[in-house]
Amino acid sequence: MCGIVGYVGSRSASPLLLEGLKRLEYRGYDSAGIAMSNGNGLETRKAKGKITMLENVMTGHPLHGSVGIAHTRWATHGQPNECNAHPQVDCTTTIAVVHNGIIENYGALRKMLKMQGHTFTSETDTEVLAHLIEAAFDGKLEDAVIDALNLVEGTYGIAVLSSKDPGKIVCARKGSPLLIGLGDGEFYVASDVAAILQHTRQVVYLDDGEMGVLTKDGYEVLDLNARRVSKGVSRIDWSLDEIEKGGFDHFMLKEIFEQPQTIENTMRGRLVVEEGFSKLGGLNLTKEELQALEQIIITACGTSWHSGLIGEMYMEELARIRTEVEYASEFRYRNPIVTDKTLCIVISQSGETADTLAAMREAKRRGAKTLGLVNVVGSTIAREDDGGIYLHAGPEIGVASTKAFTSQVIALALLTLKMGRLRNMSVVQGREVASAMLALPEQIQSILDRAPEIEAIAERFKDATNFLYLGRGYNFPVALEGALKLKEISYIHAEGYPAAEMKHGPIALIDSEMPVVFIAPHDAVFDKVVSNVQEVKARGGKVICITSQHESVLDGLIDFEIRVPQTVDMLYPILTVVPLQLLAYYIAVKRGLNVDQPRNLAKSVTVE
């Protein structure tokens, strides 16, 4: 959520900060602002709405200086308006703060500060930080920030300026990602590497409880006791081209069409087809430890939770190990059964999802081994897990996840191959699965080549008010994912159900205006799905069917058919989800909506 970017150096900061904010637009926001220290004091510019509104403000009232911080805000405390936008300042306008996260005890701190004579102008929890730093300031900004943060409960990624200690940015994190970018005589702070990738590939990731102090002459990392911390420098391998649209109308469409390549990247160097096995060097678990596992818990949120449901079926069917899928947001608020024979797999595209990170920490506290499936090298989950599988899907900018989902499922299939072959899967079955996995990139491309057919279906249903998605077995999670994609970007109400459950309630909704999407490839449960199609058709529903071959039993029952190639049952979700991604995309576009930045949503949810 939210976005932070800061710069200290010799260049004019304003254009660099505005450019950085634009790179962070995909994260979701409703207002934006900039603060600048120019040697003559502190000035801020803020605006509700898109960054173009902030640019308009700055055209009339420009900011000058070579030290500044900027922010895109996603409202939590207070309405999305100019007053509540960040940066927030103190009573004397000498301190400016940008903040991602939530200060949980801000009410008590606000009351205390008011009693001390401080005046508040916003509804935000962030303004408390500015006043706390003002109250603690005694000449050195980093000392005042330490004193203020020691009073704070909650999560934060912050960047701070002071006109009383000019030429300096102080940043700190607890539960919200933050990194320092290293340039030649200039330094950056950002919540996301995308904001600064055009200027540097050398970054230092801050961990919880750490603070960065940046001037144009250098940087240092301290803990919250002001002790220096030694940190390694990481290199970012993403190219600038990867975070551009590359000729596509939207990032989401680009990322859907990248899936043949991203699937291949996730598998590269990991499949041993002749042995029906996978090589996963980052697990940090021995063969004996893997064989000794008695339970797997998969925890995730949203789309990643759907990939986890598929992983659960993989593990139980092919590796014969008891597996549960948990919503990360619920996991640590109950009393889960976790032992030292438990493997907790945490799935997060960003590697920063607050609920998923908290669930992983709880599992570790209870003695489980943890394995992260993430797409961002250097993310918090990647640094704190016991081992992991990096997705290699490249940056995903569209808020509605597409290529990360299919890469997550592939990563789970790779892990299942390894676990299954160590347990009871035969080499023959392993070879069959591995060979089918190698065929997936070309098969996905064949679906994408028929995108105009799906666009024509979208034209027919762009004005629908409800959708029902139905699937069984491996394709039930695909029904959930297809419904989620449509909800996220088209704002059409959609539900995903196991097809057999339709009779237990949702069938009451079906009439001649209700489009029903069946995910029905020719797999082990195909015959069961056919009876559900008949039930919908008997009630006048409009049937859109994802199939894998012509079946005469469906003749006269399907209004629209989308054909996918044939594969082994367990891999159908990777194929059947692609037309559903395209269907959601085209419907949203035809409704005139911004598919890359859907309302109320953020790409990386870093608050609980």
Q: CB-based burial of residue 275 (10 Å sphere; 0-12 exposed, 13-18 middle, 19+ buried)?
A: middle
DSSP string of 257-273, one letter each residue: HTHHHHHHHHHTTTEEG
Q: How many CB atoms lie within 10 A of CB 423?
A: 14
290 Cβ neighbours under 8 A, 6+ residues apart: 283, 418, 419, 422
Task: Please indicate whether residue 344 is annotated as part of the active site.
Answer: no
Which helix (H) or strand (E) element contains residue 42? strand 42-48
Residue from 412, 373, 407 nearest 390 by CA: 373
Residue with tokens 């004193």: 147
Cα separation, 352 vs 363, in Å, equals 16
Cα-trace Rg, the chain: 25
Catalytic residue flag (residue 2): yes
Q: How many CB atoms lie within 10 A of CB 556?
A: 7
What does the alpha-carbon distance between residue 282 and residue 291 come to, in Å, rounded to a whole number? 17
Considering the candidates 2, 301, 344, 545, report the single residue annotated as catalytic.
Answer: 2
Supply 589's token pair.
């576009």
The position carrying tokens 């678990």 is 285
Give how far the C-alpha of residue 153 lies from the chain's centroid of Cα atoms, to the nearest Å: 25
Position of tokens 């909704």?
509
Are 560 and 544 in contact by the 8 Å Cβ rule? The answer is: yes
Report the distance separating Cα 436 and Cα 438, nearest Å: 5
Give the 3-state secondary structure of residue 495.
strand
Residue with tokens 């082994």: 568
Catalytic residue among 168, 418, 487, 603: 603
Of 144, 131, 139, 415, nearest in space to 266 by CA? 415
Place of tokens 């800061």: 6
- Active-site residues, by number, are 2, 603
